Amino acid sequence: MNILVTGATGGIGKAIADILSGGHIIHATGRNLAVLEKYDKYIACDLKQNDDIERLGKYIIDNKIDVLVNNAGSYIYSESKKLNKEIIDNMIDVNLKAPLYLISKAIPHMQEQKWGRIINIGSISGVMGEAGASVYSASKAGLIGATKALALELAEYGITVNTINPGWVDTDMGNSSSEAGDWTKEEIIECIPQKRFVSPYEVAAMVKYLVSDDAKGVTGQSVNLCAGLSVGC
């Protein structure tokens, strides 16, 4: 099985690539070439660059990708009154436009073989909203909406489409995001019912399940993996 994971050089993406590597061919993408070279199959790309996205789209077609995991994401904490076009374009391009484009290139092969898995890594911010991260929340909410529409469109071909919405995750990005806001990490943890950040390998385990035939009836779903954050403090 050919599995492509975007943003596979660290955090959640690396955990996903690690847990799916047994018996499958992992195609890793990201910007850190030194890390990518550890994988058998890889392509270096920056999802903010149109030329790179188009190269990746061609790679998906050429390598007949069976499972597409849209994990790469961009997060910027900014009050809405301080937003500018560059910030908005950056997050919408990486978090929403790039996944949709890559999905469009993966679909024909999946339809032909009547099997495929598309898994988007969203965010609890796309479900609940996050003050100071309106564009990020909007981009992830858009991904949830696209997941539902694509699941309906592709169901008859044996293709499932789902989104996993992590809460605070114990990664470099998760920790730096907590530092960028108005609350300390300790204060954030106090607001999480389980009083902890989620491990990236918990997210990876959910991806592994959604790839499996045990999950063939799960499609169009938005799965909150957030240590209880979505149900309140």
What residues act catalytically? 136
Measure the CA angle with vertex 142, ends 202 and 139; round to 5°.
75
- Evaluated on CA atoms 138, 158, 102, 32, the torsion sign reads positive
Tokens linked to 64: 């007949």
The DSSP letter of residue 169 is: B
Q: Which residue has the tokens 């954030």?
A: 188
Q: Taking each helix axis as running N to C, give the angle between helix 85-92 and helix 134-154, from 0 to 180 degrees, rounded to the nearest 10.
A: 30
C-alpha 76/C-alpha 71 separation (Å) is: 16
C-alpha 211/C-alpha 222 separation (Å) is: 15
